[in-house]
Amino acid sequence: MGTSGAGFNLPTPACGRIFPRLPTLLAAMAGALAAQSVDIYSEFSRVDPFGEIVAADRGAQPREILSPAVVRNAWASFHVVITAPPKTTYLLYVATNPLDACRVALYKEHFEKTAAGWAPDRLTELTRLPDFGVIPDPADGVDGQTTRAYLLDLWIPPNANVARFRLEVQLKVGYWVVRPMEVRVIAPRVPDLLVTTEPVPLPPVASGADAAALAALLDGKERTYPPPETVRAIIRRNAVQDMALASRLDAAAAGPQALRQRWEALRSGSDDSAIPPVAGAERYLRLRDWIYREAQRKPVEFW
């Protein structure tokens, strides 16, 4: 509505008193909005209680999660990070459209103190959404905490349609903050994995997030175990899925030894890609990208 025509007219003195204050009011509103945010990161970018990427995971700018590709009969995982001033309360919800596009599991991440600082690791699955939370989290007891983290775990059914669906992470802090994703379900289907209760060694929490994926690559065994109790276990499970998918490709290019060589080339920047090497834990995503691309070369009927 304007100040003339079909609207209403403010007296000239009032206009003089009100409008000079408008930039200040807008700036204050913008500051309040910026202080409360929800962001989505890949599983390889863990975030500490103060909103910073864990030192062992840092590289270049974290990958932007807008339209991730996911394969069928497999999990896809992301960190949901909420940052707000102390004493902020909120509601967190996740919605998909269509509702049955995938199965959604949401875990609360608990921070662990390491010699290099705090890192999220232990998981508690939430049995009911929306989740009510407060910053700082009284259960973790981190002085000065401004950030809470969740792990979003999506299960893509084996017979899911090769299509796209919308997922929204919704945060309510007196108003709604929405982070949408367009999830792209591609044709490749991960073979069924052997579920074992045998203890599977995991790297230390202080290691880079890609260390858990590398452990799966070196192990070479297509086994996993439920339920995941840590972020490291989630990362390892997802890497096992990648190895299982690669096992259906040409062994000369995607066999265990070939994948290890490709991983070393990606880390050193000596691979055949024109893209500069990636530092930090997200370098593993380059290997996953390659596996997905090779798998998509197969006809849909193959899967």
Residues 52, 281: Cα–Cα separation, whole Å: 14
Residues 286, 147: Cα–Cα separation, whole Å: 28
Which pLDDT value is given to residue 249?
94
What architecture is domain 36-189? Answer: Sandwich (2.60)
Instruction: Quick: pLDDT tens for 189-206.
Output: 999 987 777 777 899 999
Q: pTM (2 decimals)?
A: 0.86
Coil, strand or helix at 89? strand
Q: Where in the chain is the domain with CATH 2.60.40.10?
A: 36-189
Instruction: Quick: pLDDT tens for 78-95.
Output: 999 999 999 999 999 999
Which pLDDT value is given to residue 271?
61
Is the peptide bond preceding residue 86 cis, with omega within 30 degrees of 0? no
Instruction: Quick: pLDDT tens for 144-170.
Output: 999 999 999 999 999 999 999 999 999
Instruction: Quick: pLDDT tens for 17-68.
Output: 434 454 443 344 444 445 789 999 999 999 999 999 999 999 888 999 999 9
Q: 282 or 274: whose pLDDT is higher?
A: 282
Q: Where are the beta strands (DSSP E) in the chain?
A: 37-42, 69-72, 74-83, 88-97, 103-114, 117-125, 131-135, 147-156, 164-172, 176-189, 194-195, 223-224
Q: 107 or 30: whose pLDDT is higher?
A: 107
Instruction: Quick: pLDDT tens for 111-134.
Output: 999 999 999 999 999 999 999 999
